[in-house]
Amino acid sequence: MTIRTLRDHGQHYRPRMACLKKVEAFVVEMQDPKSGVKASDQKLNITSIPHVITGQDILAWIVTKMKVTTEEAQAFGTMLVAYGYIYPLQNHRKLVLVADSTLYRFQTPYFWPVQKWPAEDIDYAIYLAKRNIRKKGMLEPYEQEHYNNLHKWMNYKWDFIVMQATEQYKASKERKKPDRVVLDCQERAYWIVHRPPRRTHSGMDYGLDRLIDPNAEENIFLTQALMRSAVKSSVSLTAFVKYVTTHHTHDPLLTNPVPSNPWITDNDEFWQLNMRNVDIPTKLSVERWALSFWELISDQRGRADFKLFLKKEHSGENMAFYEAAEEMRWGAATAIPEKSQFIFNTFLKPGAPRWINIDGRTMGLTVKGLDCPHRYVLDAAQTHIFLLMKKDTFYRYLKSPVYKDMQKKALVPAPHNFTDAQLEANAKNRNPGISPIVLWQQQEAEKAAAAVAARPIDVKAMVATNKLDRK
Amino acid sequence: CVGPIRTASLLSQREHLSLTPEMATQEVQPNETLSNLKAESDTLKTKLEDERAKLHDVELHQVAEKVDGLGQFIMKTRRTLKGHGNKVLCMDWCKDKRRIVSSSQDGKVIVWDAFTTNKEHAVTMPCTWVMACAYAPSGCAVACGGLDNKCSVYPLSLDKNENLAAKKKSVAMHTNYLSACSFTNSDMQILTSSGDGTCALWDVESGQLLQSFHGHAADVLCLDLAPSETGNTFISGGCDKKANVWDMRSGQCIQSFETHESDINSVRYYPSGDAFASGSDDATCRLYDLRADREVAIYSKESIIFGASSVDFSLSGRLLFGGYNDYTINVWDVLKGTRVSILFGHENRVSALRVSPDGTAFCSGSWDHTLRVWA
């Protein structure tokens, strides 16, 4: 059985390395004799190498051509070197662009990382064999290891490989010295890119191979898409702008949070002031609750405040139903029958202790659906209740004394103003905080206690245990 | 420039290798039906484009003209998390705004308290290339998967010495690598996407498949759940250049966008839930409006040639952060379409990027084995 270790660093037919085509166009421009990077002849160990360019010239050219900053040009230049379009002459193993008089050359297009020419192991074996023939012991340790492995795997082809290597070696000896040196450098650079030394990363490494199997069934989908209604751009785009503008002050990366951003000052007071069970919330939080009903109930502190308001209005059953329905929808599959039964008994059946007020049709549909409960059976009722809270209760909440009171009491923490010494001290004493597991356990315990408290009193049971005095 | 000599025999070997796989699997199609379908498809597509164009009365940057420009934007690395022995492939934040889970190519999944940079938990997966990891909403578990084609859930423990692998739960099973996973609103359900071209919704406790989503023609690489109050949809992006919007309840694909020119590596909902952004190998990030059913912005520059691997929005949706394969992070002004800033620091590809739950910072994971928190 033939085992081929084909490490293909350039994909055959996928546009995955689309970036390479753009890079190639760019590199071609760089080599233009008139408008490209200035090249000169350089002496390297007696031989004169033609078309050598310096790192700083490359950088300057990129800055001018792409109209970018030096840093960005540096990053892009390093990419060119990492992918093997430009190779360094002296420190050949370090594939970065150094912006000084370090010498580089353009790689010949034959060796460019194009899509149709994978860097095969057999070519690598021939290359290593050739170097071995030229001078024994010339291979680096990692190359020696590759060589030994290839010798083992490709043993059946080894005669062919040695024959190829010898022919190439003979052919190169017939060339003129400068040509030979140039070719050696190019080939060496190519293999550094495609078979990188230990503990360096290869620019050609693109991660896992991706499959493709284009075979789409589009027409039904397109017909449906045509029937779908869409909104005018002006309407939806204005909505985005509105969202961004209203949330601008709440975005910690745009408006400095008060008292300070914990990641910058190493002081976590900001998080502590915004915890779920804090007594007095911050003014910013309270303002955010007013932006929309969803913002209010997404914030756990806000939701708690809203529930307080509902309790005063004696309409807490809506929120309780919503939460119970959410729990069922996102919960474990095995818990669904039990939860649906509980919800029916508590919220939906006639004379239920926390009966919710929904229209007859929805109630009918829901109760019927509960015969065969599934996780989405309460969707209609849940949406109805949610919309009721969103369109009516929410606005009453915002006008209520509960909310207005909270607005007045809300904290406006003073911004931190740490000295450098204090910042250093903060960095050394970062608060480890409470583990989310502990917080979760606390929350679950609270919920369980609340559930017990909310359960309707069973009169018969109390009589049975003589707790209720019937006099 | 001189090239090496190749003998005739070697050339013929190469020719043999260049036979495309398609030739081996091509079936005989009745030409008429195929061309009819194609013609119908083209007509429908043109019709759809025309309908959408009628509603397209303004461009995003025009509407954004009245908005103030962003001043100079400075962000720095505030934390560097070192500890992975190989490429970091994925990361996710915990809802407590400071803890992070990250996974890497060597099979390690690490839970960090990014604020103190302490490692809190570590798990070694039985496979390499752990490409997906997610933190549970409760903060009590993490999910991860990759080349093992599965998604496993590890409950976390307060006991540092406990072996987390003992309580591991195998939840999802795909027929190819797991590319992304996410918990829904609770610890009890997981949404996964895979190289087998499907997404799936699973019940954690029983491992039961609740719903599967078919429609991508190639590997699905990323997914994101809708943040909105209805919470019933999610988006996915794949190697077929499509970004699909799915209804979790019915399993139907309700919207699809195909404007990218290459694989879509990352999709992320806009904070309001009415739009989403995507990052692709074609070096662009794009914004899609769900209500107007069209692409509304392209974030690209001539100097950005390498693919975007991961994108995320800031809390207000004004900024779009993109991690790219050329080791940089570009920060875009979502409304005006311009680049606000470029961040350097990573020494290899940025493979994962997520903004923290309260928007105070974002974290980037890279193939240089580290994670960085920026603010």
Quote ipTM for the complex.
0.86
Least Cα distance to A17 among A115, A119, A117 occurs for A115
Q: Which residues 246-285 of A are in CB contact (within 8 Å) with B?
A: 247-248, 250-254, 257, 261-264, 268, 270-271, 274
**Whether A183 contacts chain B with CB within 8 A:** yes
Residue A348 in contact with residue A366, Cβ under 8 Å? yes
Chain A residues touching B282 at Cβ < 8 A: 18
The Cα–Cα gap between B70 and B354 comes to 21
Mean pLDDT calculated for residue range A113-127? 76
Residue from B12, B15, B96, B369 to probe the interface with A (highest A Cβ count within 10 Å): B96
Amino acid at B126: P
Query: How close, in Å, is residue B236 to chain A by CA atoms?
Result: 16
The Cα–Cα gap between B117 and B110 comes to 12
Task: Indicate the angle between helix axes A18-30 and A70-82, nearest 10 degrees.
Answer: 110
Q: Which residues 404-433 of A are in CB contact (within 8 Å) with B?
A: 430-433
The pLDDT, as a whole number, for residue A195 is: 85
Contact A244 B296 (CB under 8 A): no
Question: Which has the minimum average pLDDT: A147-161, B24-38, B181-195?
Answer: B24-38
Select the highest-mean-pLDDT range: A97-106, A197-206, B76-85, B229-238: B76-85
Chain A residues touching B274 at Cβ < 8 A: 236, 239-240
Chain A residues touching B360 at Cβ < 8 A: 252-253, 257, 261-263, 270
Higher pLDDT among residues A4 and A70, named by residue: A70
The pLDDT, as a whole number, for residue A218 is: 62
Summarised one tens digit per residue, pLDDT across range A456-465 is: 666 676 677 7
Q: Which residues 95-154 of A are in CB contact (within 8 Å) with B?
A: 108-110, 116
Q: Answer whether residue A137 shows pLDDT above 80.
A: no
Share of chain B above pLDDT 70, in %: 91
Buried/exposed code over B286-302 (b: 16+ C-beta within 10 A; e: otherwise): bbbbbbbbbbbbebbbe
Query: How close, in Å, is residue A318 to chain B by CA atoms?
Result: 16
Query: Which H or E run contains A103?
Result: strand A103-106
The Cα–Cα gap between A279 and B214 comes to 48
Contact B4 A26 (CB under 8 A): no
Query: Which H or E run contains A462?
Result: helix A459-464
Domain borders along chain A are 18-194, 281-409
Least Cα distance to B203 among A79, A104, A375, A88 occurs for A375
Contact A263 B318 (CB under 8 A): no
Q: How far is CA A55 from the centre of its chain?
A: 34
For B196, residues 6+ apart whose C-beta sits below 8 A from its C-beta are B174, B175, B176, B219
Select the highest-mean-pLDDT range: A138-147, A291-300, B160-169: A291-300
The Cα–Cα gap between B99 and B113 comes to 4
Pick the CATH number of A18-194 from 1.10.3210.10, 2.70.70.10, 3.30.70.890, 1.10.10.10: 1.10.10.10
Mean pLDDT calculated for residue range B167-182? 94
Neighbours of A113 (CB within 10 A): 22
Report, in this order, helix, strand and coil percent for chain A, each rounded to 5: 60, 5, 35
- Torsion angle, CA of B197/B202/B207/B210, rounded to 10 degrees? -100
Residue B208 in contact with residue B239, Cβ under 8 Å? no
Q: Answer whether residue B136 shows pLDDT above 60.
A: yes
**Whether A220 contacts chain B with CB within 8 A:** no
User: pLDDT category, B147, cuts 50, 70, 90?
Assistant: very high
The pLDDT, as a whole number, for residue B100 is: 97
Q: How far is CA A30 from the centre of its chain?
A: 34
Average pLDDT, chain A: 84
Q: Answer whether residue A110 shows pLDDT above 90.
A: no
Mean pLDDT calculated for residue range B318-341? 96
User: Residue B188 gets which letter from DSSP?
Assistant: T
Partner residues linked to B173 by β-bridges: B150
Using a 10 angstrom Cβ sphere, with 0-12 exposed, 13-18 middle and 19 or more buried, the burial of residue B183 is: buried
The SS3 assignment for B314 reads coil
The pLDDT, as a whole number, for residue A290 is: 94
Contact A68 B303 (CB under 8 A): yes
Q: Answer whether residue A65 shows pLDDT above 70.
A: yes
The pLDDT, as a whole number, for residue A180 is: 85
Per DSSP, the residues of B53-91 read HHH----HHHHGGGSPPP------EEEEEE--SS-EEEE
- Global pTM value: 0.86
Summarised one tens digit per residue, pLDDT across range A173-201 is: 888 887 888 888 888 888 888 888 877 77
Question: Which has the minimum average pLDDT: A276-280, A288-292, B5-9, B187-191?
Answer: B5-9
Summarised one tens digit per residue, pLDDT across range A239-287 is: 999 999 999 999 999 999 989 999 999 999 999 999 888 889 999 999 9
Partner residues linked to A378 by β-bridges: none
Contact B58 A237 (CB under 8 A): yes
Higher pLDDT among residues B85 and A117, named by residue: B85
User: Residue B307 gets which letter from DSSP?
Assistant: P
Contact A182 B1 (CB under 8 A): yes
The pLDDT, as a whole number, for residue A199 is: 72
The pLDDT, as a whole number, for residue A12 is: 38
Q: Which residues 62-121 of B are in CB contact (within 8 Å) with A?
A: 63-64, 66-67, 70, 75, 78-79, 87, 94-99, 113, 115-116, 118, 120
Q: Answer whether residue A334 shows pLDDT above 50.
A: yes
User: pLDDT category, A5, cuts 50, 70, 90?
Assistant: very low
Structurally, at CATH architecture level, domain A281-409 sits in: Orthogonal Bundle (1.10)
Summarised one tens digit per residue, pLDDT across range B199-245 is: 999 999 999 999 999 999 899 999 999 997 767 899 999 999 999 99
Q: Which of A230, A431, A437 sits opposite B140 (nearest CB)?
A: A437
Name the closest residue on chain B to residue A248, using Cα atoms: B316
Q: Answer whether residue B304 shows pLDDT above 60.
A: yes
- Which tokens go with B246? 């799915």
Residue from B18, B60, B209, B360 to probe the interface with A (highest A Cβ count within 10 Å): B360
Residue B371 in contact with residue B81, Cβ under 8 Å? yes
Summarised one tens digit per residue, pLDDT across range B87-122 is: 999 999 999 999 999 999 999 999 999 999 999 999
